């Protein structure tokens, strides 16, 4: 790992050698002119500071200067800052009491002249260094956005707003730099912090730009800002430009009406908005600029229009885009403006970037473009000095990663990330990169990006060029990187660049296998397997399994003995040990990467026992390592699902090599003879589809939104087919025309089913609504009652197949005491006279899912009239707050506030209740808010300015993260589970299922979940409980 400056908050400082005089101390520090330096120090006396005070300061200051990478720069910065303070004696007393603050000051100012100058301009910024709460705090983008908005809104004039933004941005840059240089934040955290800062500044600049344009007499047209490059990847550095593109909706009118009654061309108004935004960001002021803006990644580069419509972008990418432009879209990310438009833009570009079958000419063109960059670098004599585009530089790693994303991202959605480190991790998880390759490239990327940071933060220049070898500045750079000597720095730099170059040659230009065990590993293991009965081989296998990270190696030895020796019931055919040895090394390597390595091997052995011929299974896995990898990840990620595969080996081929699914999979069921046979066939089909969805989830072929969509679609189809089967069965039993009786029936889903966000273990909340005119027909009512009861019995039978289906009808009027079927009119009357507010809230999720579509459309209007009152009653807020408080006090144990994914603080319920509370208030006036899906609703709330985009980002990301974690827990255990696990093995399995492949303890995954919940809770409390 990279050596950094010692973490000054946790280390014990190594004291300097005792010196007799300040002059001697200055000389030992290597100060260039000790006499002048000492004279400058003595001049600090005055304004309440005595010579005795300075004598008290000197030992603390000299010790701090000893930690600086550039003592000369730090000493000058200290003198300038101390002179600029308004109350020097107060600061001197503070430094005496907290010397660690002065050490951080010297590290920061010795690393960055930019920060030194800022501290002189704004001496009060020293609190960012001195206050542990300030320097230790990670500030989410939602917090930043709210803070800068308040500052900007407090200013009356546009220029004051701009200067407030520039001043605030400079202060935040210092705070981020302090956390970086003090060793508090990692490279990834620092780059994310810079990107969050840029996101907040962009939204603030956009808000300012709107106020400076001619005032419109109508809502402004939809406009979205798309980040590209490092900002898109959330990996900005100290002196990055921000690459942007601007998009407007296709329905842009020709003109816009202004408040003064005149009109203006709509596209011209949007172009002025874009130009004003760029000027606000890039214009220099007393506190510098906000961010330099680069628009050259837009279609047609600097010759293209600043703002384009969605259709214009589509046309360009379909017909004119160069391969490098499609590659650049990997980094595209919506950052500000209209959220729905930004999301539509992302959906538009995805097929252009991620093709399931990328054309060879695309990859060839990208390879040639990389060669052109290298030739240009060589012509400019930058090959050795430039750490970005030069030999073994940052760009080499980025090209490796992006080539692999383009190759595999069409089939593996998990690889579609704009962040390089995240992409490396996911490539490893998907089996594209080996553990060693992932580790090497990630560490080298962090080293090189940190080096880039240290180069840029000195003077704030956008540079990636190393100082000349053997120069004093090269030594200072080494010290800023945390090295004691230039030789140690040069050695490590050379080793890392050489390794990156080797990977570039093999993985980008060559055809080296991406993930395979060394040949020697296979031969050594084969020898151990041949002599597996000997105690020595047994012990070595135990050590080998331990080294791979298996939890209980001694329990796994019999699994290796079986294919080699058989058991007490008989030995193995001669070909079985041979075929097993061919896959053994790969088997252990791949199993070790599974969520639970032990479960992976146990599951694979269970499959080997079940199949007719072990040797054929081993040979098939030898021919197809991808098949072996998928089987082991499924066995280690979901032992319950894998047992279904073991019981139904006939599903193996279609699971590994799926064909296009039929939308009418249920149609053959209707043709089967006998109701029992139909229900059994339905259950088996559902088992198979649940297995397929879970397997694709574990393999990274579908994301959590797609899982929710598929499970919801499966539930809707099941409900529809069960209605058909029940009608057929009742017709057989009663000879009544049951289909005619059921014709006016509409089935509505609520909860997760209504929101189209089902998880594996979600209840199916349902209500049955019927045409009012037929409910008074006694014969019809009896037949209808029989049909619903038969429907319930059929659902209950499906659960005997271990299908996680729980039908919940308790959200009907009067709950379990009410009739199973009611009419929309009766439902409306119930809620007008007797319904509780929480019941009306529950109807926000209501959505027609099966039955009579005409009845469903009418009922939808009635349901919305119930859930979206006009006006919004004042008592609703109090009632909802009271109910939420009861849930937290009666159903949530205090020690589970940070561990319960559903009820915990910042959990799923917090996010849902905030969204629903805002929906009930504003849904009548804003039809876009009448949406049962939580994620979509949060986006609509942002577009309606009821939430900040940054708040919506946090809430959506947290909601999906928690939903994914709940799904992962069900996959792993086969049980509905809301609490984060505590045992080490389960925590590690959860972490790997969530993509944390190298998080051996699972602590990072849990920390990230709890951190996300903490921020979501903060947003929930600030909105839901605000007066």
pLDDT tens-digit series, residues 820-879: 999 999 999 999 999 999 999 999 999 999 999 999 999 999 999 999 998 999 899 999
812: left (phi over 0), alpha (psi -120 to 50) or beta: beta
Are 449 and 403 found together in one domain?
yes
Mean pLDDT for 171-179 is 96
CA distances (Å), 752 to each of 466, 758, 914, in order?
A: 55, 5, 16
Given a contact cutoff of 8 angstroms between Cβ atoms, the answer to whether 160 and 181 are in contact is no
In this prediction, residue 256 carries a pLDDT of 97
- Is 1013 inside any structural domain? yes
CA distances (Å), 655 to each of 383, 410, 680, in order?
A: 48, 18, 21
Which tens digit of pLDDT belongs to each residue from 582-602?
999 999 999 999 999 999 999
Is the pLDDT at 917 greater than 80? The verdict is yes
Taking the C-alpha atoms of residue 819 and residue 816, their distance in angstroms, rounded to an integer, is 8
Given a contact cutoff of 8 angstroms between Cβ atoms, the answer to whether 243 and 231 are in contact is yes
φ and ψ at 95, to 5 degrees?
A: -65, -35
- Is 975 inside any structural domain? yes
Q: Which two tokens stand for residue 193?
A: 């912090």
- Is 16 inside any structural domain? no
Beta-bridge mates of residue 46: 49
- Is 10 inside any structural domain? no
Are 616 and 713 found together in one domain?
no
In this prediction, residue 521 carries a pLDDT of 53
CA distances (Å), 244 to each of 41, 63, 188, 335, 421, in order?
A: 47, 45, 22, 9, 22
Are 481 and 391 found together in one domain?
yes
pLDDT tier, 671 (very low <50, low <70, confident <90, very high otherwise): confident
Considering 96, 119, 136, which residue would you say is the last residue of a domain? 136
**For residues 874 and 12, which has the higher predicted lDDT (pLDDT)?**
874
C-alpha atoms less than 13 angstroms from C-alpha of 672 in its C-beta half-sphere: 17
Q: How far is CA 261 from the centre of its chain?
A: 46
Are 31 and 109 found together in one domain?
yes
Which tens digit of pLDDT belongs to each residue from 921-969?
999 999 999 999 999 999 999 999 999 999 999 999 999 999 999 999 9
In this prediction, residue 643 carries a pLDDT of 97
Are 795 and 709 found together in one domain?
yes
Mean pLDDT for 158-167 is 95
Are 344 and 443 found together in one domain?
no
> Helices in 67-153 by DSSP H: which ranges?
71-84, 88-97, 99-111, 113-121, 127-130, 132-136, 141-153
In this prediction, residue 673 carries a pLDDT of 84
Residue 239, domain CATH:
3.30.460.10
Which tens digit of pLDDT belongs to each residue from 980-1020?
999 999 999 999 999 998 777 889 999 999 999 999 999 99
∠ Cα 73 79 82 (to 5°): 130
Show the domain range for 43.
22-136
Is the pLDDT at 680 greater than 50? The verdict is yes
pLDDT tier, 659 (very low <50, low <70, confident <90, very high otherwise): confident
- Is 978 inside any structural domain? yes
Give the percent of the chain with pLDDT over 90.
Answer: 87
pLDDT tier, 779 (very low <50, low <70, confident <90, very high otherwise): confident
In this prediction, residue 662 carries a pLDDT of 58
Are 956 and 979 found together in one domain?
yes
Is the pLDDT at 8 greater than 70? The verdict is no
In this prediction, residue 569 carries a pLDDT of 80
- Is 5 inside any structural domain? no
Residue 493, domain CATH:
1.20.120.330
Is the pLDDT at 405 greater than 60? The verdict is yes
- Is 674 inside any structural domain? yes
Which tens digit of pLDDT belongs to each residue from 94-130?
999 999 999 999 999 999 999 999 999 999 999 999 9
Residue that has been written with the tokens 């490279």 in this structure: 187
- Is 181 inside any structural domain? no
Is the pLDDT at 501 greater than 50? The verdict is yes
Considering 296, 330, 353, which residue would you say is the last residue of a domain? 353
Are 736 and 850 found together in one domain?
yes
In this prediction, residue 660 carries a pLDDT of 67
In this prediction, residue 16 carries a pLDDT of 44
Q: Which two tokens stand for residue 225?
A: 């800002």
In this prediction, residue 5 carries a pLDDT of 47
Beta-bridge mates of residue 225: 246, 336
Is the pLDDT at 437 greater than 50? The verdict is yes
pLDDT tier, 661 (very low <50, low <70, confident <90, very high otherwise): low
In this prediction, residue 330 carries a pLDDT of 98
| Angle separating helix axes 435-459 and 420-429, nearest 10 degrees | 180
Q: Which two tokens stand for residue 595?
A: 């969520």
Are 422 and 437 found together in one domain?
yes
Find, among 788, 794, 744, 741, the residue nearest to 766 by Cα.
Answer: 788
Beta-bridge mates of residue 848: 748
In this prediction, residue 735 carries a pLDDT of 60
Is the pLDDT at 161 greater than 70? The verdict is yes
Which tens digit of pLDDT belongs to each residue from 801-818?
989 999 999 999 999 999
pLDDT tier, 516 (very low <50, low <70, confident <90, very high otherwise): low
Considering 617, 652, 687, which residue would you say is the last residue of a domain? 652
Mean pLDDT for 620-649 is 96
57-84: burial string, b at 16+ Cβ within 10 Å, e else = bbbbbbbbbbbbbbbbbbbbbbbbbbee
Are 725 and 857 found together in one domain?
yes
Q: Which two tokens stand for residue 2?
A: 């990279």
Taking the C-alpha atoms of residue 398 and residue 404, their distance in angstroms, rounded to an integer, is 10
Q: Which two tokens stand for residue 986?
A: 């389960």
Residues ≥6 apart with Cβ < 8 Å to 573: 615
Are 861 and 882 found together in one domain?
no
Are 883 and 859 found together in one domain?
no
Which tens digit of pLDDT belongs to each residue from 236-253?
999 999 999 999 999 999
Average of per-residue pLDDT values in the chain: 93
Could you give the number of structural domains in the chain?
A: 6
pLDDT tier, 3 (very low <50, low <70, confident <90, very high otherwise): very low
């Amino acid at each position: 790992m990279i050596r950094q400056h010692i973490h000054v908050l946790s280390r014990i400082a190594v004291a300097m050698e005792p010196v007799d005089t300040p002059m001697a101390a200055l000389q030992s520090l290597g100060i260039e002119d000790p006499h002048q330096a000492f004279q400058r120090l003595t001049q600090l006396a005055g304004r309440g500071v005595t010579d005795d005070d300075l004598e008290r300061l000197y030992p603390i200051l000299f010790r701090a200067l000893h930690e600086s990478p550039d003592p000369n720069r730090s000493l000058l910065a200290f003198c300038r800052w101390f002179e600029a303070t308004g109350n020097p004696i107060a600061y001197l007393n503070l430094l005496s009491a907290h010397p660690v603050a002065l050490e951080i000051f010297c590290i920061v100012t010795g690393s960055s002249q930019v920060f030194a100058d800022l501290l002189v301009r704004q001496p009060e910024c020293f609190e960012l260094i001195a206050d542990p709460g300030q320097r230790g705090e990670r500030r989410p983008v939602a917090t930043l956005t709210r803070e800068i908005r308040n500052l900007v809104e407090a200013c009356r004039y546009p220029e004051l707003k701009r200067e407030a933004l520039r001043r605030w941005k400079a202060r935040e840059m210092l705070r981020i730099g302090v956390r970086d240089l003090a060793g508090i934040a990692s490279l990834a955290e620092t780059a994310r912090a810079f990107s969050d800062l840029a996101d907040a500044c962009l939204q603030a600049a956009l808000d300012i730009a709107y106020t400076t344009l001619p005032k419109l007499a109508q809502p402004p047209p939809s406009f979205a800002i798309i980040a590209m490059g490092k900002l898109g990847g959330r990996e900005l550095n100290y002196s990055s430009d921000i690459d942007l593109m601007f998009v407007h909706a296709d329905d842009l009118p020709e003109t816009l009406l202004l408040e003064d009654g005149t009109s203006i061309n709509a596209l011209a108004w949007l172009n002025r908005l874009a130009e004003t935004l760029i000027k606000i960001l890039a214009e220099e002021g007393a506190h510098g600029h906000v961010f330099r803006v680069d628009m050259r990644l837009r279609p047609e580069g600097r010759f293209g229009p600043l703002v384009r419509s969605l259709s214009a972008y589509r046309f360009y990418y379909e017909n004119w885009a160069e391969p490098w432009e499609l590659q650049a879209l990997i980094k595209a990310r919506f950052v500000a403006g209209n959220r729905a438009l930004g999301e539509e833009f992302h959906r538009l570009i995805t097929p252009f970037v991620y093709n399931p079958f990328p054309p060879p000419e695309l990859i060839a063109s990208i390879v040639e473009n990389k060669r052109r960059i290298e030739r240009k670098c060589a012509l400019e004599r930058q090959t050795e000095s430039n750490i970005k585009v030069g030999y073994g530089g940052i760009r080499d790693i980025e090209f490796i990663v992006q080539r692999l994303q383009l190759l595999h991202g069409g089939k593996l959605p998990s690889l579609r990330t704009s962040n390089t480190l995240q992409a490396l991790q996911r490539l490893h998880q998907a089996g594209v990169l080996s553990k060693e390759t992932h580790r090497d490239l990630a560490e080298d990327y962090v080293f090189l990006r940190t080096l880039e940071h240290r180069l840029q933060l000195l003077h704030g220049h956008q540079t990636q060029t190393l100082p000349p070898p053997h120069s004093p500045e090269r030594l200072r750079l080494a010290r800023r990187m945390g090295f004691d000597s230039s030789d140690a720095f040069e050695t490590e730099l050379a080793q890392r660049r050489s390794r990156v170059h080797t990977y570039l040659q093999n993985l980008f230009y060559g055809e080296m296998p991406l993930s395979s065990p060394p040949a020697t590993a296979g031969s050594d293991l084969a020898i151990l397997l041949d002599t597996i009965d000997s105690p020595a081989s047994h012990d070595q296998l135990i050590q080998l399994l331990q080294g791979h990270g298996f939890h209980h190696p001694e329990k796994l030895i019999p699994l290796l003995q079986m294919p080699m020796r058989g058991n007490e019931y008989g030995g193995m055919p001669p070909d079985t040990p041979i075929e097993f040895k061919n896959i053994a090394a790969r088997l252990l390597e791949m199993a070790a990467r599974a969520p639970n390595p032990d479960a992976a091997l146990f599951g694979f052995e269970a499959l080997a026992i079940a199949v007719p011929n072990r040797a054929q299974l081993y040979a098939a896995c030898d021919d197809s390592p991808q098949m072996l990898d998928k089987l082991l990840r499924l066995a280690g990620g979901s032992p319950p699902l894998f047992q279904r595969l073991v019981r139904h080996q006939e599903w193996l081929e279609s699971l590994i090599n799926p064909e296009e699914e039929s939308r009418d999979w249920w149609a053959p069921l209707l043709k089967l003879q006998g109701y029992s046979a139909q229900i059994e066939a339905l259950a088996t089909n559902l088992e198979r589809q649940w297995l397929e969805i879970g397997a694709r989830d574990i393999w990274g072929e579908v994301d959590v939104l797609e899982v929710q969509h598929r499970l919801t679609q499966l539930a809707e189809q099941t409900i529809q087919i069960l209605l058909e089967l029940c009608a057929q069965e009742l017709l057989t039993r009663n000879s009544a025309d049951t289909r005619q009786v059921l014709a006016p029936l509409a089935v509505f889903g609520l909860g997760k089913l209504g929101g189209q966000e089902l998880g594996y273990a979600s209840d199916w909340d349902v209500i049955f609504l019927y045409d009012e005119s037929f409910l008074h027909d006694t014969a019809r009512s009896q037949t209808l009652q029989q049909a619903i009861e038969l429907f319930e019995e059929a659902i209950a039978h499906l659960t005997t197949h271990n299908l996680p289906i729980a039908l919940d009808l308790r959200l009907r009027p009067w709950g379990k005491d009410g009739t199973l079927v009611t009419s929309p009119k009766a439902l409306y009357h119930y809620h007008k006279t007797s319904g509780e507010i929480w019941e009306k809230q529950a109807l926000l999720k209501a959505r027609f899912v099966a039955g009579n579509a005409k009845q469903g459309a009418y009922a939808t209007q009635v349901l919305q009239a119930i859930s979206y009152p006009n006006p919004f009653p004042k008592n609703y807020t109090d009632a909802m707050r009271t109910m939420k408080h009861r849930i937290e006090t009666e159903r949530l144990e205090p020690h589970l506030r940070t561990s319960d994914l559903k009820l915990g603080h910042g959990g799923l319920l917090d996010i849902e209740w905030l969204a629903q509370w805002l929906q009930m208030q504003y849904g009548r006036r804003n039809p876009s808010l009448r949406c049962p899906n939580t994620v979509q609703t949060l986006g609509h709330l942002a577009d309606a300015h009821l939430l900040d985009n940054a708040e919506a980002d946090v809430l959506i990301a947290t909601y999906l993260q928690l939903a994914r974690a709940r799904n992962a827990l069900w996959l792993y255990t086969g049980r509905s589970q809301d609490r984060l696990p505590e045992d080490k093995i389960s925590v590690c399995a959860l972490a790997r299922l969530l993509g944390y492949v190298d998080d051996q303890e699972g602590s990072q995954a849990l920390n990230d979940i709890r951190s996300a919940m903490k921020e979501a809770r903060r947003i929930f409390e600030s909105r839901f409980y605000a007066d």
